[in-house]
Amino acid sequence: MEIDFESYERFEFSRNDRILRVSLAGLGPANAVDEVMHHEFPRLLRDLQDDAPSDLVILTGRGGAFCAGGDMDWFQKMIDDPREFRGILPDARRTLTGLLDLEKPVICRLNGHAAGFGASIALLCDIVIADERAKIGDPHVKVGLVAGDGGAIIWPQLIGYARAKEYLLTGELMSAATAAEMGLINYAVPADELDAKVDEMAAKVLANPRWAVRWTKAAINISLRDNANKISDAAFAYELLTNLTRDRQEAVDAFVGKRAPKFEGE
């Protein structure tokens, strides 16, 4: 069946024959994640699987960013009432597993910065092609949280434990060119070549038989799903605990106040 995507608030859609383009339409110019987007993501992944006309998904961001992390007002809401944070964990897990379970190939058109949850979403796609001006990273630790929504799972698989630990423990962002050089993403290209490269890759994938492509992806992802099952519950639980710390509140206060944080280790 063909899915009607009109009900989504934080995603925009367009079709081109067998390709469905999905654009993250989050808050502000950075496409920040809020409660609405976070809740819609697992439903989106189920609908993508069931959407009969499409055989390949291009995931990108609206405007000049991909997704540069979470909305600070939403963060503060979850600090003020930890039950709010606890409540999002089922959707977080369903998003993680949903990306790995989706049989259709997903090309990430990384048109701008991707950080935190945005970086996890990008890296859990099958092929990542970035605007060379984009930066990518997982700065969870910089905002007082454990990298629980996918970073601890996918980064070591892509670039090894040594490099993954360096970037996850420092929270530093890297350029798309650096990410491509170390194998975190597939390609970093000039902005005016991004669409051509994405289209080229989509055509190469779609030139092959549908079920050969889908089930090859499914076979490759078996070990990733196993790894996610082993790590995700503990990672989410640790992230929930860090949301209760005073340093987490200080990180949010400092970001909003545009000042350097003063962490106390509590």
Q: What is the pLDDT of residues 8-29, one digit of tens each?
A: 999 999 999 999 999 999 999 9
The phi-psi region of residue 261 (left if phi > 0; otherwise alpha if psi is between -120 and 50; otherwise beta) is beta
- pLDDT bracket for residue 177 (50, 70, 90): very high
Q: What is the pLDDT of residues 78-95, one digit of tens each?
A: 999 999 999 999 999 999
Element (H, E) at 125: none
Total of domains in the chain: 1
Residue 51 lies in a domain: yes
Residue 1 lies in a domain: no
Enter the DSSP assignment of 54.
-
Backbone CA torsion sign across 84, 89, 91, 95: positive
- pLDDT bracket for residue 181 (50, 70, 90): very high
- pLDDT bracket for residue 68 (50, 70, 90): confident
Percent of the chain with pLDDT over 70: 100
Taking residues 26-55, report their average pLDDT.
Answer: 95
Whether residue 1 is predicted with pLDDT greater than 90 in this model: the reply is: no
Residue 45 lies in a domain: yes
Residue 238 lies in a domain: yes
Q: What is the pLDDT of residues 141-176, one digit of tens each?
A: 999 999 988 999 999 999 999 999 999 999 999 999
Taking residues 97-110, report their average pLDDT.
Answer: 97
Contacts of 151 (CB under 8 A, 6+ apart): 116, 119, 120, 138, 140, 168
- pLDDT bracket for residue 71 (50, 70, 90): confident
Which structural domain, as residue segments, surrounds residue 75? 11-257
Residue 2 lies in a domain: no
Taking residues 127-136, report their average pLDDT.
Answer: 97
Taking residues 99-125, report their average pLDDT.
Answer: 96
Residue 200 lies in a domain: yes
The domain that contains 31 carries what CATH number?
A: 3.90.226.10
Residue 16 lies in a domain: yes
Question: Rounded to the nearest 10 degrees, how much is the dihedral formed by the CA atoms of 31, 170, 78, 93?
Answer: 80
pTM, two decimal places: 0.95
Residue 4 lies in a domain: no
pLDDT at residue 2 in the model: 81
Taking residues 114-137, report their average pLDDT.
Answer: 97
DSSP of 32-53:
BB-HHHHHHHHHHHHHHHH-TT
Task: Quote the strand ranges of 31-186, DSSP E.
Answer: 56-61, 106-110, 114-115, 127-131, 135-137, 174-175
Q: How far is the C-alpha of 21 from the C-alpha of 126, rounded, in Å?
A: 15
